Amino acid sequence: MINWSFSDWCRDWFKPYLLSVARFLGRLGLSPNMVSIIGLIAYGASGLVLGIGHPAAAGWMLAVFGPLDAVDGLLAREQGRVSPFGAFLDSTVDRYAEFFLFLGLMAYLFLHRQGGLVEAALVLSAMTGSLLVSYTRARAEALGFSCKVGVLTRFERIFIFAVGLIFGWIYPVLVIIAVFTHITALQRIFHVHKQSSD
């Protein structure tokens, strides 16, 4: 089973910088849950900017605000405010954030690229795959299994999304996400099956 660790490597590498951001936001009086909501608003704004026809700007917004996904957790640990509700809110907000991105992408493809059935199928596949990647982990961990494996976790998806938007690689990125999210979901299914069998 492939256990791709690019996201873990990036989190370890950037942790000192993200921790500085978390402490700064804490000094401003922001709570971890507030940071999660601010991140959701930023993702919604990125989707809106994409939908009105500015993919590069949307990509840069993702690159700047995407790390808030990690900052809220760091802030919670710094303030000693880690809670089940905070984890639940963070996971729920992340799903809405991706929905806003795919909604913006759909609008961009249909309003500015004359998209058709193929584009709609790709966006739907990418969005469904992304949700399944997150669901398989959440469901597995609720049942007591570990489930962090896979080639395209949320971090990789957002990273690829941002890079693709910045450089205009819309279709290649969409295909990659549409295909490899489902591969990741299958990897997680097999990984949990192996644990249950053991």
pLDDT at 4 over 60: no
Residues 91, 140: Cα–Cα separation, whole Å: 14
The confidence band for 133, taking pLDDT boundaries of 50, 70 and 90, is very high
Residue with tokens 């809220």: 72
Contact indicator for 164, 59 with CB cutoff of 8 Å: yes
End-to-end CA distance of the chain: 15
The confidence band for 11, taking pLDDT boundaries of 50, 70 and 90, is low
pLDDT at 28 over 80: yes
Q: Choose the weakest-confidence range: 39-48, 78-87, 179-188.
A: 78-87
The confidence band for 135, taking pLDDT boundaries of 50, 70 and 90, is very high
* Average pLDDT of the residues in 169-196: 94
The confidence band for 6, taking pLDDT boundaries of 50, 70 and 90, is low
Q: Where are the domains of the chain?
A: 6-197
Residues 73, 67: Cα–Cα separation, whole Å: 11
Q: CB 173: neighbour CB atoms within 10 A?
A: 21
* Average pLDDT of the residues in 73-98: 89
Threshold 0.75, pTM exceeds? yes
Give the residue with greater pLDDT, 18 vs 157.
157
Q: Does domain 6-197 have CATH number 3.90.1300.10?
A: no
